[in-house]
């Protein structure tokens, strides 16, 4: 089905925000556009002060519903098949039936504001795809108020981390607002929760433009026993923070390509997904192998998974979109990759250790070919600003 993206003007954004919050975003039946939620628009006065989400609400021409009651869209089962995390079935269809079954310790999803239906959202999502009951807890840092745009983000985050690591404890850590100060306070809380659980992953599907002094925030992403992830962003060539931090796995995006039968045929570059050279952070040691590309700068992303509006994923968000809907953006890849790394079970002591291993594999042609997919369609061969080293293949090296 054909889809297009509507870029909203500042005036339209203001109107959309007024209409969307705090009530849910209504899915317009018969619509043919992808809507960028208002919270994803950044103004100059917000740089270094407030963060935005990296999520795109997709409105298909027709919302096709599968037998499980969910939209016919990419989901944790189809992605697990594509990434060789479960036994492959022919074409890895969107109706794939083999569940990922891994996960342990904990994953924390850090977001702003409150999703009042988070617990029932993840339960509905889990039941539709045949999972057991999620081990899920909401932790509020302050007194966050309900917000539909961020509720949509929160539903996505918890469902896709859980979808790849269903046996992990899933924490939704809600910041009081989308200010960097509040989000970083929530990050610190997430770190303490993960450390108490014996380790795990923190996922951040939010960010903002880079700014002078951002390095002073890097300490919030250095908890021992925690691997941090952040969305690379949905504006091609524009680097965002905290994705640019050398202490964070920068999660990039790809497009899932399918033929007329709906069979998976490969991955290609995600049009519009973020990536580029940090103008503030220096190249970390683990990226020395790509120094001819990035020079003295931190390059993003590190590795990637599906994030394209051409291959959106299904989520359930009662407060965010009134039930089932389809979303895209690198907000998808951050929790997905955090779940995959959790299910891999290695639990590196830091992000630095995680990325040192990944880039070491990139430098070993045999291991790289076995454990990663080089995204070359629409990108250059090898590490690139579209997909980093590529997308996961098996749990090895993760």
Is residue 352 situated within a structural domain?
yes
- Count of residues for the chain? 398
Is residue 166 situated within a structural domain?
yes
Residue 62, pLDDT score: 81
Question: Is pLDDT at 67 greater than 50 in this prediction?
Answer: yes
Domain CATH code at residue 383:
3.40.50.200
Q: What is the pLDDT of residues 74-84, one digit of tens each?
A: 999 999 999 99
Q: Which among 156, 150, 157 has a CA at the least distance from the CA of 107?
A: 157
Q: What is the pLDDT of residues 16-62, one digit of tens each?
A: 222 333 323 333 222 333 444 434 445 555 666 899 999 999 988 88
Question: Range of 189's domain?
Answer: 4-392
DSSP string, 359-371: HHHHTSHHHHHHH
Alpha-carbon span 11 to 393, nearest angstrom: 43
Is residue 125 situated within a structural domain?
yes
Residue 46, pLDDT score: 65
* Single pTM value for the model: 0.91
CB of 356 closer than 8 Å to CB of 84? no
Question: Is pLDDT at 3 greater than 50 in this prediction?
Answer: no
C-alpha gyration radius of the chain = 19
Alpha-carbon span 68 to 62, nearest angstrom: 17
DSSP string, 72-133: SSB-HHHHHHHTTSS---TT--TT--PPP----SEEEEEEESB-TTHHHHHHHHHHHHT---
Residue ranges of E strands in 186-296? 200-204, 206-209, 226-231, 240-241, 249-258, 264-269, 276-282
Residue 294, pLDDT score: 98
Is residue 311 situated within a structural domain?
yes
Q: Which among 39, 54, 28, 12 has a CA at the least distance from the CA of 332?
A: 54
Alpha-carbon span 49 to 211, nearest angstrom: 10
In the chain, the number of structural domains is: 1
For 43: left if phi > 0, alpha if psi spans -120 to 50, otherwise beta; the answer is beta
Is residue 397 situated within a structural domain?
no
Residue 5, pLDDT score: 34
Is residue 71 situated within a structural domain?
yes
Is residue 305 situated within a structural domain?
yes
Q: Which among 379, 166, 362 has a CA at the least distance from the CA of 270?
A: 379
Is residue 398 situated within a structural domain?
no
């Amino acid at each position: 089905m054909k889809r297009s993206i509507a870029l909203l003007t500042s005036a339209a954004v203001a109107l959309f925000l007024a209409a969307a919050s705090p009530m849910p975003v209504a899915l317009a039946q018969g619509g043919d556009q992808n809507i960028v939620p208002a919270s994803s628009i950044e103004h100059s006065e917000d740089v270094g002060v407030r963060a935005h989400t990296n999520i795109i609400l997709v409105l298909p021409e027709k919302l096709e519903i599968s037998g499980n009651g969910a939209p016919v869209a990419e989901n944790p089962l189809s992605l697990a098949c594509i990434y060789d995390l479960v036994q492959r079935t022919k074409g890895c269809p969107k109706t794939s039936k083999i569940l990922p079954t891994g996960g342990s310790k904990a994953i924390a999803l850090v977001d702003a504001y409150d999703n009042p239906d988070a617990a029932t959202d993840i339960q509905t999502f889990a039941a539709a795809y045949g999972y057991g009951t999620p081990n899920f807890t909401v932790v509020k840092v302050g007194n966050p108020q309900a917000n539909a745009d961020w509720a949509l983000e929160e539903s996505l985050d918890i469902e896709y981390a859980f979808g790849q690591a269903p046996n992990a404890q899933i924490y939704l850590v809600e910041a009081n607002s989308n200010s960097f100060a509040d989000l970083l306070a929530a990050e610190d809380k997430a770190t303490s929760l993960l450390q108490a659980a014996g380790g795990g992953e923190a996922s951040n599907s939010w960010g903002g433009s880079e700014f002078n002094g951002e390095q002073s925030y890097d300490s919030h992403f250095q908890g021992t026993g925690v691997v941090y992830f952040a969305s690379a962003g949905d504006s091609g060539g524009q680097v965002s923070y905290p994705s640019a931090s050398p202490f964070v796995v920068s999660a990039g995006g790809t497009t899932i390509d399918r033929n007329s039968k709906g069979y998976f045929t490969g991955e290609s570059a995600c049009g519009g997904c973020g990536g580029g050279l940090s103008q503030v952070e220096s190249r970390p040691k683990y990226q020395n192998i790509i120094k001819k590309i990035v020079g003295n700068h931190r390059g993003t992303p590190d590795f990637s998974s599906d994030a394209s509006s051409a291959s959106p994923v299904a989520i359930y968000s009662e407060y965010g979109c009134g039930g089932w809907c389809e979303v895209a953006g690198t907000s998808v890849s951050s929790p997905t990759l955090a779940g995959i790394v959790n299910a891999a079970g290695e639990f590196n002591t830091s992000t630095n250790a995680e990325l040192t291993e990944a880039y070491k594999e990139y430098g070993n042609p045999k291991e790289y070919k076995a454990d990663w997919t080089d995204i070359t369609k629409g990108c250059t061969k090898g590490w690139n600003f579209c997909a980093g080293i590529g997308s996961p293949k098996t749990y090895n090296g993760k």
